[in-house]
Structure 1
Amino acid sequence: MFEARLIDGSILKRILEASRDLLTEAAWECSESGISLQAMDGSHVSLVSLFLGADGFDYYRCDRNLSMGINMISMNKILKCAANDDIITIKAEDDGSSDVVTFVFEAPKMERRCEYELKLMNLDVEQLGIPFTEYSVVINMPSASFSKICRDLILIGESVCISCTKGGINFSCDGDLGSGKITLLQSTSDENEADNLTIELTDAVKLTFALKYLNYFSRASTLSPIVKLCLSKDVPLVVQYDIEDIGYVRYFLAPKIEENNESDND
């Protein structure tokens, strides 16, 4: 038997909303340690990696490892039926006797209980090994600022060049109507850590990425006030949002090599 209960059911709603433009189907891997997901977007350009630890749930039971093939669009529709303050429980049989996963939504005072079943899919999913990488630059910044930068620059062009030194980080974009450049300097405050921008740097970095995907990633800003960006030459960018005390979602996006090379030759 698999069962996971989350008092703050809005976490699951926000996770599904953040991935709605990237994933149409995915295998949710359930084990004793928690729930994980790893899937490429439909264009095989970006990778989504999610982990929700067992200790972060209010009740968690997983008698044996279980892989649930789920249509993410359908799951998002079902979760929209839950109120933001509902308690959400996910249940499934792990002995192969059922081809559905059950979602139970309960109001905080238990005056309402809704139950939905979603048919599972048979997915042939190969888990991609994500190698450990020592990144040249690790940036922690307010997720709201990152979202606004992505929204603003996509009005100018399709790609953004991210360059980082010890002093700060530049986001620049060129398009048919002109260009844009946003510079952020390191800042720290003891009053609110979520407003800080910190940069850990071993080597300066200048890389170009598709803004469409960064905009998709930034929708996870509802999960965390802070976003972590990890960059190194010739490896995918990592955009990570820590989800309260339960886990994280990571997005991986390869740099646009051709544009980067052109900018290096300028």
Structure 2
Amino acid sequence: MSSPYLLELKTVQATTFKQVIDALKEILMDVNLEFDETGLKIVAMDTTHVVMVHLKLNADRFENYFCEKKLFVGINILKLHMLIKTISNGDILTLFVEKEDRNRLGIRIENTDKNIRTTYRLAMLDINALEYNIPPVDFQTIITMPSVDLQKIIRDMNNLADHIEICSVQNNIYFKCRGECVQQETILGAENNQNFNIVNTNNSQEIIQGIFSLKYLTMFTKCTNLNNVVEVYLKNSFPIILKYGVASLGEIKLCLAPQDA
């Protein structure tokens, strides 16, 4: 007997999915959720074209995952967030598209302990499916650090200035900002620090530096709750990338173009 669904996926990590959408609602508006046999993917740029988001949640990490063929589901992130923001611990989330109702995304939130189930049907948007050609890049510096530490640095500096300079010199990372009245510099060293690691792929003496918008980096750090660790990728004259694991479901990469010095 054939399935009544074009798409059906179920996860007990409903709060994790909510946290992802909560972070993305600050950055993206209307996006395509791309489903195929490998899982769920979002590849999108913000309206200013300075931010790119690459999210991949793997099919084999869901409790159930069925996708008959590649499917683009256009949605407004804010409207999706509005529907799922009530998700709490213990809830199970199911996303589905029925063959008889191809223009709406079904969203089911259930809690077996409370014996409650709520189903929404969100009208899809017709969004052009854009192909982004992203060439492989060798980053000069890769930093691994506690995500809460990066969030604190970014938050503190966002209260003082508009931009941050991030500089990698040997085994140290320098975070600097200059506001109207205050300058701040925070130095993180990899020596004798088990929670902080720097990999320099090229000449370790070379200075890797970039200036970035604190407003956008503050948005990026809303992903802090997804994982204890964040990876930061740096390369001169190149976007910075923050990569977070999405619990055990997959990963999200957030790219931000540098500011002119």
TM-score (norm: length of structure 2): 0.92
Letter in 1 for 2:96: K
C-alpha contact (below 8 Å) 1:27/1:67 kept by paired residues: yes
**2:256 aligned residue:** 253
Letter in 2 for 1:200: V
Q: How many residues align?
A: 251
The CA deviation string for residues 117-172 of structure 1, in whole angstroms up to 9 with x for no partner, is 11100001312122111100000011000101011011221111101122210100
CA distance in 2, matches of 1:97, 1:117: 10
- Structure 2 CA distance for partners of 1:170 and 1:99, relative to 1, 3 Å: same
- 96, 115, 118: which one aligns with 1:114: 118
Letter in 2 for 1:83: S
Q: How does 1:164-175 map to 2 (within 5 A)?
A: 164-175=168-179
SS in 2 for 1:99: strand
C-alpha contact (below 8 Å) 1:159/1:211 kept by paired residues: yes
CA distance in 2, matches of 1:102, 1:56: 20
**1:262 aligned residue:** none
Q: How does 1:126-137 map to 2 (within 5 A)?
A: 126-137=130-141
CA distance in 1, matches of 2:10, 2:245: 19
1:18 deviation in Å?
Answer: 0.9
1:246 deviation in Å?
Answer: 1.5
**1:229 aligned residue:** 232
Q: How does 1:51-130 map to 2 (within 5 A)?
A: 51-93=56-98, 97-109=101-113, 111-130=115-134
Letter in 1 for 2:196: L
CA distance in 2, matches of 1:128, 1:100: 26
**1:29 aligned residue:** 34
**1:147 aligned residue:** 151
1:178 deviation in Å?
Answer: 2.0
SS in 2 for 1:123: coil
CA distance in 1, matches of 2:221, 2:7: 31
C-alpha contact (below 8 Å) 1:140/1:198 kept by paired residues: yes
Letter in 2 for 1:199: I
- Structure 2 CA distance for partners of 1:96 and 1:122, relative to 1, 3 Å: farther
SS in 2 for 1:117: strand
- Structure 2 CA distance for partners of 1:225 and 1:108, relative to 1, 3 Å: farther
1:175 deviation in Å?
Answer: 1.4
Q: Which moved more, 1:63-72 or 1:196-205?
A: 196-205
Which consecutive segments of 4 or more residues in structure 1 shift more than 3 A?
none
The CA deviation string for residues 162-193 of structure 1, in whole angstroms up to 9 with x for no partner, is 0112221010001111200001111444xxxx
Which structure 1 residue ranges, 5 or more long, are not aligned? 190-195, 260-266
**1:198 aligned residue:** 197
**2:15 aligned residue:** 10
C-alpha contact (below 8 Å) 1:13/1:80 kept by paired residues: yes
CA distance in 2, matches of 1:168, 1:108: 49
Percent identical: 27
Letter in 1 for 2:225: T
**1:210 aligned residue:** 213
- Structure 2 CA distance for partners of 1:131 and 1:101, relative to 1, 3 Å: same
C-alpha contact (below 8 Å) 1:137/1:204 kept by paired residues: no
1:233 deviation in Å?
Answer: 1.1
CA distance in 2, matches of 1:96, 1:178: 60
1:211 deviation in Å?
Answer: 0.6
1:26 deviation in Å?
Answer: 0.5
SS in 1 for 2:102: coil
1:25 deviation in Å?
Answer: 1.1
- 142, 162, 166: which one aligns with 1:158: 162
